[in-house]
């Protein structure tokens, strides 16, 4: 029918165009069904390789839930291997610092960690030679790590092995670009003797969940106080909490100042009213006597 309107040449051109269009559609369909999925798969993130947990490996799942580990006696070491800097000690010291010290001292040791603002005095700035309580030479830093610093937030790290404490010493000293040389030969000799001493034992370790369970089992609730005097009725707002706080420490029995120190800094959470601060000296004496009779 179409031949009536088109001559042979025009019909040929039309058929060629139609063939070209059909060929293009076929190619597009093949591209969509074959090439596009291949591109998508090529850009798809690799599926992580399944990894089996490594027992006692730091950082796997929850490191506080490692299996219980019995303490053991460590073999004596040559103190010079711990007192002389080495790559192994440096790497271990950095690892321990990041796990235990960064929150207070900051990653670069400037005393500007996330928790530093809540502390008085502020954590030590290891990059400066000023203000060190025990000093910044090797024996002094080791002593600080072993004993802590009284009156500050610096706790003792004596639960770490001597090797780990010395690794921390080397890292702490590496944070300050000033000389940490030791001029006290006796201090060096004492440190060397301690590091070489036999019989060092690592502590037993248990998972945090087991430690919490043990604490719950050992916890003994104290009978609530009985506000049966005028002064007790005035100051006690939580008899059970007040009894628990006082029973956990006997220091408050020494004198009225120790009693005030035990109650007033956090009176509301200790089970006492804020009115306690307004008691007269005679009322404080009456309170001390009433509490001594109540808390056995």
pLDDT means per 10 residues, the chain with 296 residues, are: 58 67 70 60 52 45 70 89 95 95 94 88 94 95 94 90 96 95 91 93 84 81 87 92 85 86 84 90 92 85
Q: What are 123's two structure tokens? A: 């954590």
Is the torsion defined by CA of 20, 21, 25, 28 positive or negative?
positive
Question: What's residue 4's pLDDT?
Answer: 57
Question: What's residue 87's pLDDT?
Answer: 95
Q: How far apart are CA 111 and CA 106, in angstroms?
A: 6
Q: How far apart are CA 173 and CA 137, in angstroms?
A: 8
Q: How many other β-carbons are positioned within 10 Å of the β-carbon of residue 231?
A: 20
Return the bridge partners of 205, or none. 69
């Amino acid at each position: 029918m179409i031949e009536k309107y088109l001559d042979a040449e025009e019909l040929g051109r039309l058929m060629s165009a139609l063939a070209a269009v059909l060929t293009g559609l076929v190619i597009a369909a093949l591209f969509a069904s074959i090439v596009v999925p291949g591109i998508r798969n090529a850009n798809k993130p690799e599926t992580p390789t399944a990894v089996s947990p490594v027992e006692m490996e730091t950082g796997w799942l929850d490191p506080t839930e490692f299996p219980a580990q019995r303490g053991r006696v460590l073999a004596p070491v040559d103190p010079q291997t711990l007192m002389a800097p080495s790559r192994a000690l440096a790497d271990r010291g950095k690892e321990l610092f990041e796990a235990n010290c960064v929150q207070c001292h900051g990653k670069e040791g400037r005393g500007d960690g996330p928790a530093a603002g809540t502390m008085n005095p502020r954590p030590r700035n290891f990059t400066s030679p000023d203000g060190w309580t025990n000093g910044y030479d090797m024996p002094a830093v080791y002593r600080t790590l072993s004993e802590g610093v009284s009156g500050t937030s610096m706790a003792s790290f004596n639960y770490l092995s001597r090797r780990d404490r010395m690794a921390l010493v080397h890292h702490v000293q590496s944070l300050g670009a000033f000389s940490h040389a030791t001029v006290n030969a006796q201090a060096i000799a004492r440190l060397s003797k301690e590091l070489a001493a036999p019989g060092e034992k690592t502590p037993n370790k248990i998972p945090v969940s087991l430690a919490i369970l043990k604490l719950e089992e050992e916890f003994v609730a104290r009978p609530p106080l009985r506000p049966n005097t005028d002064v007790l009725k005035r100051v006690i707002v939580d008899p059970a909490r007040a009894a628990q706080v006082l029973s956990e420490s006997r220091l408050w029995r020494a004198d009225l100042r120790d009693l005030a120190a035990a109650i007033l800094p956090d009176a509301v959470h200790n089970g006492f009213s804020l009115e306690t601060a307004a008691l007269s000296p005679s009322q404080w004496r009456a309170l001390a006597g009433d509490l001594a009779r109540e808390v056995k």
